[in-house]
Structure 1
């Protein structure tokens, strides 16, 4: 993930099969409401005309929850909420501080509501790129370089920012004072792929698109579970290593991370599943080396779409000792990287975990999905 390392497919880009076009409703959910089943970082409660949103801060030692009330445009808010906690819906305009947030909007066909981004370079959505070229989307900046004066002038209905250990809500006091709500999105710390994808339901609540998200996410959920059940049939679970040594550390997915969940759901085995931590685990080369010598597959090798086996070998000659290097079983998730260097895996891939899982199953157990062609992953040559 870009934020950890520096962590709807668009219908115009990847055609859907007839089976994928079927979008059954999730059972037990009213069409105008959403129920949260997988995500741990937020919740939504419906009461009368209002939607009550709770965002759980995962970075504090004590439980810290930020609360918002979503009010239908033109309706007075309930008592007990400050102006900074009130968000009028449906959103007409929004500023998004992560490319993943673009994926949420694109999944619901809401790219036209995007008026600002942290960085205009890292975008994959063709619709948003067209809006950028037309001058309809402004670059806002990141972290301490956010152009608050520009934001106040634009006055969007919402700024969606990324949660991080260093993020502080008082950082946005100027925006809140100007009546611009700021909502923290911490999807990247969810520990399951469906949990990360389910943040699209929060976007749906902001857009009054609950019926649409129930249909589309219902299909994603159904397919992910079907593929997981398919992979459970395998008797041999190939060993996977992930990542690459960067300077003084080799960052691997920790045992309770969403990427480890992908590995296991795809029918693989992974050395650090006994650990209960999330995020990334920094190791030295010598710790990874014994596993790498016998690992059947080496996944997520590099973030560079231009990398090859030889360019990887040039970084450290010891990589030639790895079993996966010798057999050529090395794969990256950067197949859909555009000319600007933006990787769609971190945009549309987040809200389409069933396609990411299908890629992994195709890599690890090709006979299970003989007709599937890799969407996000590519083999290094």
Structure 2
């Protein structure tokens, strides 16, 4: 009988031979990974990598979190329910109670919790549908450089041209407006309000506006709190539902559980996925103000909206938010990251770079996109996972697990600086 050590090492050519050309991250990180813990991964050659990628924001609590792992193992050993559609289970009920007690009640939020399916695009699709159902209108306003998912409805409110091109059909019923500071030092507030005021503008009164408070895929563009408050005022003035896509920026990524908390706004609908599953397990939530929860039973459903393993891990993840301690720790690390970004921009003026982001979701936007790409490639060779974002891939971004320690951050920062030096000197 063969043992684990007898198994042949999987090589990259396996993926090139059998897998579709659509794969992307395996091209950016061309190695075969076998193990991960906390903020570190190892490949089949035992090379170590610091993780400044965190599953594109799905691993806020790190890889193989011990408390979650032990609960999952125990749950599996007890032959408890794993798949349940939307049937009632103990794991589902415990998550709902904990989410209400730890997240919603302390923030005075009156939301019904919907499980729309396991991914970010599922929650966005359901948000668009309920907004249209509530208002009886079709159009949705989204924003330049926004990213909301890869299915047809989500793509219709996504700005990226290459991703929209993959739809294969016209993408309708959406209107794009300028995000905050889309044109430098120019507010889009008056522009948007003027369009809505003017019946001859060509913009129908929309069902909803959908926005990210920090645009992840779009270039780590952070909206100011004033801009967010003004967007909410416009929505209230014109009876438009406000949808905040917190799929990547939520679950503590910007310092507070919801990214919109410091702005003091209350969206009508909130989209959550990625790290809500705690352990990197597929899970998504759509939070809907109670008065707008007018779904008929089964009107929006999905086979995998009952991932009980995710419920177990997600319930444990919520313990991080029982006090302000975790949020304060994130803020301290965010200050370290912000100082490092300032240092890079000042010390390496050849980058002609600008600062982007908020919390532990920050980036450096280079004048030339190819520079950012080369820095990420060099960082990978030196043992750091980091990706680019922005319309041209001009931003190299930092998205480590929120649980990373100071030593891990500093080690990652050193690799980034060494990579910048290497690229600029060649």
**TM-score normalised by the chain length of structure 1:** 0.37
Greater relative contact order (CA < 8 Å, ≥ 6 in sequence): 2
